[in-house]
Amino acid sequence: MPTITLCMIVKDEEEFLERCLNSIKEIIDEIIIVDTGSKDRTVEIARKFTDKIFFKDFNDDFSELRNFSINKATKEWILVLDADEMISKNDLIKIKQLIQNNENLGYAFIQRTYFNKPLTKQWNYSKDDDYEESKSYLGWIYRGITRLFQNNKGIKFIYPIHETIIESIKHINGKILNSKIPIHHYGLLRDKDSIIKKNELYKKILINKIGKYKKLSFETELKIQEEIEKETLR
């Protein structure tokens, strides 16, 4: 059976980390945690699950951290999650089935970001959803995100924010299949101060990098961040 390394970047995630790791641990063969300066119980919690914990400063570039983490992986496949995310137990068997197919270098997921106020045109209500993970929240916004991929030296993350491996997979003529599996994301359910701090960091990085990458999506993302912050503060 093919093996999986879980790679994570964390900082002050004691509220979410244990739930995330418990949700996925039964199909994971190795856990790599990169901590960027936690001052709470994050590292203590991580040590319950792995001894492969590394420490690295954050230099306003999430790709740098992601690449540092995946370079530590020793298993055949890599799964990337954030501490405020989880995968339903019902979907774990699907992931094990996916990695038995070596023809695809990567698999895309649907990241559902839950919130209790409607946001943007991509809003979906939880009322009739089958997943228990959504039942406590009004609904979610979604985006496609590639988080499961083969441990291949040619695959790396690019862009300092909303980092992606898609371009590197395409560069080596690899295929990405849509798994249609949701990643349940609870980042907008944090306290307001944490959300404001995170949004300010994202906006700062976006503003500094728009000129460098010349991607319209960065400008669009900045507008979305501003909308989310406005709704959060209502």
Tens digit of pLDDT for each residue in 142-160?
A: 989 999 999 999 999 998 8
Q: Indicate if the pLDDT at residue 181 is higher than 80.
A: yes
Query: Is residue 61 situated within a structural domain?
Result: yes
Please give the backbone phi and psi of residue 209, each rounded to the nearest 5 degrees, phi first. -105, -10
Angle of CA points 49, 111, 65, to nearest 5°: 55
Same domain, 202 and 151: no
Whichever domain contains 55, its CATH number is 3.90.550.10
Same domain, 85 and 156: yes
Q: How far apart are CA 40 and CA 23, in angstroms?
A: 21
Q: How far apart are CA 23 and CA 120, in angstroms?
A: 29
What total of structural domains would you count in the chain?
Answer: 2
Same domain, 169 and 198: no
Query: Is residue 137 situated within a structural domain?
Result: no
Query: Is residue 122 situated within a structural domain?
Result: no
Structure tokens at 177: 């299949």
Same domain, 46 and 81: yes
Query: Is residue 87 situated within a structural domain?
Result: yes
Same domain, 91 and 200: no
Same domain, 19 and 97: yes
Same domain, 160 and 227: no
Q: What is the DSSP letter of 232?
A: H
> Torsion over CA of 73, 74, 78 and 81, rounded to 10 degrees?
-40
pLDDT tens, position by position, 86-142: 999 999 999 999 999 999 999 999 999 998 888 766 789 999 899 999 999 999 989
Structural domain boundaries, residue 82: 4-105+145-174
Same domain, 52 and 153: yes
Q: Which residue has the tokens 């849509």?
A: 178
Query: Is residue 126 situated within a structural domain?
Result: no
Query: Is residue 124 situated within a structural domain?
Result: no
On whether the CB atoms of residues 84 and 188 are closer than 8 A, the answer is no
> Torsion over CA of 223, 226, 227 and 230, rounded to 10 degrees?
-160
pLDDT top residue among 77 and 123: 77
pLDDT top residue among 122 and 5: 5
Same domain, 149 and 226: no
* Residues found in the chain: 234
Same domain, 167 and 201: no
Distances from the Cα of 233 to the Cα of 190, 192, 196, 230, angstroms: 12, 7, 9, 5
Query: Is residue 110 situated within a structural domain?
Result: no
